Structure 1
Amino acid sequence: MKKINNIYLQSILFVLALFTACQDTNYEFGEINTPFNITVNTSIIGQDTDNPYGDGSGEVQFTVNASNAISYKLIADGIEYPSVNGDFTIYFSTEGVNTYNITVIAYGAAGVSSTIVTSVEVLANYAPPAELLEKLHGTNSKTWRIKSEKAGHFGLGPVGGQIPTEWYSAGPEEKAGVGMYDDRMIFYSDGTFEYQTGGTIFGRDGLINELGPITGNVNGADVENFQYEDYTENWFINAPGGIETLNLTNLGFIGYYVGGSHSYQIFDRIVANELLLKITDGNNEFDWWFIITSEAEEGPSYTYNNLVWEDTFSVDGTPDSSKWTYDLGTGSNGWGNGESQYYTDRADNVKVENGNLIITAKREDYQGSQYTSARLKTQGLYNFQYGRVEIRAQLPQSAGTWPALWMLGANFPTVGWPYCGEIDIMEQRGDDKNSVLATTHWYDDTNMQNASYNLTTSISNSGDFHLYTIEWTENYINIYLDDVLYYEFANNNNLPFNQDFFLIFNVAMGGTLGGTIDSGFTEDSMVIDYVKVYQ
């Protein structure tokens, strides 16, 4: 059953349950009249005297009307099609002339309905070749994804263009973190299409609104990380005008929502385990191009894979004193950022429990401050140069909290900041809990410099656990979110990132990135599952 139908039927069942079960309460729905006088007008595309069953495309348009109806459903060849206005366009793809029984349902108020059955006899002169079907679903099913690692996996061009991604072509992993690369599309041999969104999707502003109110980040003409659940539709292949086309029913889509026909031209299928698709958007403005693949996604190829240091927080109580020490107090001018918290080493603010390190920021009057928190560091206990650091963590969600997983040069006590260099593996603004930030800071003898930072939107809510990773070499600093690269920085001998650094974990309150603290804030925590260093 399709998502849109589930919502519709659940609403009907809920209303009927109230109507039948709550005997002591009167509910008024207005006058409930069963739909009647259902009429179905059928138009077989290309039908004429010489072609009584149509032009072979298998396309049939239905127009349904009924008195007292507020919506309709048509069931054809085992596939359900809902419609509010009663207009349907259906492609029949079984080769030859075939007669199809069509069930037409008209729905009225409170879910009452009427049904009639009609039929249509139509010609389809195209049958998907066996090699295409084998490629798409094999013996039962195959899982597909956007081939994000390949240049040109997503892009656009003119309507009717024949040059893939002629006007814009995404580079490898360019759209990491916007809600597209974690999508999975499963084609089943029975014609079922299952779409796994990972919680968020990517689409065109003004068109993705067809799926519901905007819930993601509007970035220019794009909507990033639009919250959307997994759904199921149907798929079929036909060849209008001789062009093989992959069709998805209702609001089904691939990769980037553009509305329109939901029919994707199969532009090229020569490459093994790949399809090159294009579709015209609902504004008739662009053709959008996609490369999808059934190959399993390969994770990053890291340089450093020898585990040399870790803390898995396996012993409840206080953090291991052989690995962690603390910054305490308010620092200078709120640690240089106008922060509002007082850092302590109390169990109220930092503890190890159930295999996790928990850093808790609290609202409380303490030593002249209104908030307390904790800031742990490995300074003097574990300093290292180069390597890969993995930190699995869950971030606080309260406005005004500023969690950070970061590193400072070990010469900080003698040269100060920013001469020592700073690498922010993860920071999060207090007013944006769907994004994280990576930055490098240094001084170039003329003025402080910030590396060109990247803002990435989480694959799903940052209140879930995510993996924050840095790989740091003499040539580069790469930072990943859930093994997806989103920050790259070229290291060189003139920068301070070629010496020992130490780790720092903290939750600040307010300040330059924390911003305005929620007036109702009481406490919130950053939870760290583990930290591992590889060299």
Structure 2
Amino acid sequence: MSFPKRPKRRSLLVIGAAAVAVMTSAGCTTELPGAAAGVTQPRAGQVVDTNAIGMSGANSVRAAATTFSDDFDGAAGADVDSGKWQHETGDGVNNHERQFYTAGTANAALDGDGHLVITAKKENPANYNCWYGSCQYTSARLNTAGKFTQRYGHFEARMKLPRGQGMWPAFWLLGDNIGSAGWPSCGEIDVMENIGREPGTVHGSMHGPGYSGGNPLTAAYPLPGGQSFADDFHTFAVDWSPNAVTFSVDGQAYETRTPADTNGNQWVFDHPFYIILNLAVGGDWPGDPDGNTQFPQQLVVDYVHVSA
């Protein structure tokens, strides 16, 4: 399936609730006019701390330094850039999901038109073993752990979502200390989640100790007029500062969370996080696919950009 490539663009970033900063075009690797002296795009694997380059909170106005950029340009059928992403493999036991995540290009590949396409397929169950027996579905989950992490900044992806009961696409961030702190103490920021039975609504959520699982800090953003997020591309973003996280869709802020929202529980959004893109099938929240769910389904990602 082919999708139109986005036009070349420059976008405005809203830092917190009020300030506006200018994002550089994709691929910039040199020092930016107006940025802090010496700010350049880091190499893959570098941990970015925006405090060190002048991040001053929700009301600052400054040029935004691009710290991570992937526009998924490459030949049709190619794998993602291994300097930026790695594949996670296995089943979805944690949320009772129904898919098996595969490596390679069987379920995640470039389309040749500047997109990453993550495809959920209905498979021969005998080929994949899952927590419940034999997996009926395959899909893909990619992350930047060990390749790119950042504390604070603007995280943005432009995507076209799948459709159908049981589909669960997500663009999210996970604390890089999960190995030592565990979940949810590591922190989780769900920039965008959608479940197939709500085709016109996405959710932005935060998980931490005392506010996780079925009780996160969360809000929903509905498209007007019965539109579906599967009909066109939309831009999903968070602006993350030391004491606030603001969620937006197509530049429209709809939720801001601060330490006051945790009701005395620990605010754990003060260290680097890495990026995850995945398309789950089934699970405790969306429920299983039904007889009306058509396969294959695709999460089409136009770009992922991060700025400080």
TM over 0.5: yes
Tell me which residue corresponds to 1:320.
Answer: 81
Q: CA deviation at 1:302?
A: 7.2
Higher strand fraction (1 or 2): 1
Find the aligned partners of 2:158 and 2:254 in 1 and give their Cα distance.
17
Q: Which residue of 2 aligns with 1:399?
A: 165
Other structure's SS at 2:290 match: coil
Candidates 351, 366, 371, aligned match of 2:109: 351
* Aligned mate of 1:521, from 294, 298, 302: 294
TM superposition shift of 1:326: 1.5
1:38-49 matches, within 5 Å, as none
* 3-state SS of 2:217 partner: coil
**Contact residue 349 and residue 359 of structure 1 kept, 8 A:** yes
Give the alignment of 1:257-268 within 5 angstroms.
none
Percent identity, aligned pairs only, is 35
Which SS does the other structure have where 1:414 is aligned?
A: helix
Give 2:257's aligned residue.
489
Corresponding position of 1:504: 276
Pick 1 or 2: higher relative contact order, CA cutoff 8 A, min separation 6. 2
User: Once the 2 structures are TM-superposed, how far is the Cα of residue 513 of structure 1 from its aligned partner?
Assistant: 2.3
Equivalent pair of 1:440/1:450 in contact (CA under 8 Å):
no
Structure 1 pair 473/343, CA: closer, same or farther in 2 (3 Å)? same
Corresponding residue for 2:98?
Answer: 340
Q: Distance in 1 between matches of 2:199 and 2:178?
A: 30
1:414 has 2:180 as partner: yes
Structure 1 359/384 Cα, relative in aligned 2: closer, same or farther at 3 Å? same
- Select which of 440, 453, 458 maps to 2:223: 458
Distance 1:344 1:516 in 2: 20
Tell me if the contact between 2:118 and 2:139 (Cα under 8 Å) persists in the aligned partners: yes
Q: Decide which of 193, 204, 229 is 1:438's aligned counterpart.
A: 204
Amino acid corresponding to residue 455 of structure 1 in structure 2: A
Count of paired positions? 233
Give, as a single letter, the amino acid of the residue that structure 2 aligns with 1:523: P
Aligned equivalent of 2:137, options 361, 371, 393: 371
CA RMSD of aligned residues (A): 2.3
Where does the alignment leave 5 or more consecutive residues of structure 1 unmatched?
Answer: 1-171, 173-299
Match of 1:23 in 2: none
Separation in structure 2 between the aligned mates of residue 304 and residue 448 of structure 1, nearest angstrom? 36
Q: State the Cα deviation string for residues 35-92 of structure 1 (Å, max 9, x = none).
A: xxxxxxxxxxxxxxxxxxxxxxxxxxxxxxxxxxxxxxxxxxxxxxxxxxxxxxxxxx
Report if the CA contact (8 A) 1:428-1:513 is conserved. Answer: no
Q: What is the correspondence of 1:36-435 to structure 2 with a 5 Å cutoff?
A: 305-316=64-75, 317-330=78-91, 334-353=92-111, 354-365=113-124, 366-367=127-128, 368-435=134-201
> SS of 1:396's equivalent?
coil
Runs of 4+ with deviation above 6 angstroms:
300-304, 446-449
- Per the alignment, do residues 302 and 505 of structure 1 end up closer, same or farther by CA in structure 2, a change over 3 Å counting? farther
Contact 1:363 1:521 in 2 (8 A): no
2:245 to 477, 502, 505: 477
Instruction: Give 1:376 deviation, angstroms.
Output: 0.3
Instruction: Read off the aligned partner of 1:362 and give its amino acid letter.
Output: K
Give yes or no for contact 2:95–2:284 (8 Å, CA) kept in 1: yes
CA contact (8 A) 1:322 1:381 kept: yes
| Deviations, residues 182-215 of structure 1 (Å, cap 9, x unaligned) | xxxxxxxxxxxxxxxxxxxxxxxxxxxxxxxxxx
In the alignment, structure 2 segments of 5+ residues that lack a partner are: 1-16, 18-58, 129-133
Report how far residue 516 of structure 1 moved: 2.9
1: distance between equivalents of 2:288 and 2:93?
A: 17
Q: Distance in 1 between matches of 2:156 and 2:173?
A: 13
Distance in 1 between residues matched to 2:135 and 2:189, nearest whole Å: 28
Task: Note closer, same or farther for the CA distance 1:449–1:362 as it changes in structure 2 (3 Å cut).
Answer: closer
Does the residue aligned with 1:413 lie in a helix, a strand or coil? helix
Cα–Cα, structure 1 residues 393 and 416, in superposed 2: closer, same or farther, change >3 Å? same
2:255 maps to amino acid: Y
Report if the CA contact (8 A) 2:206-2:212 is conserved: no
AA matched with 1:461? S
State the distance in 2 between where 1:304 and 1:370 align: 48
- AA in 1 matched with 2:229: S
Instruction: Look up the match of 1:467.
Output: 235
1:347 Cα offset (Å): 1.8
| TM-score, with structure 1 as normaliser | 0.41
Does structure 2 conserve the Cα–Cα contact (< 8 Å) formed by 1:475 and 1:491? yes
1:293 equivalent in structure 2: none
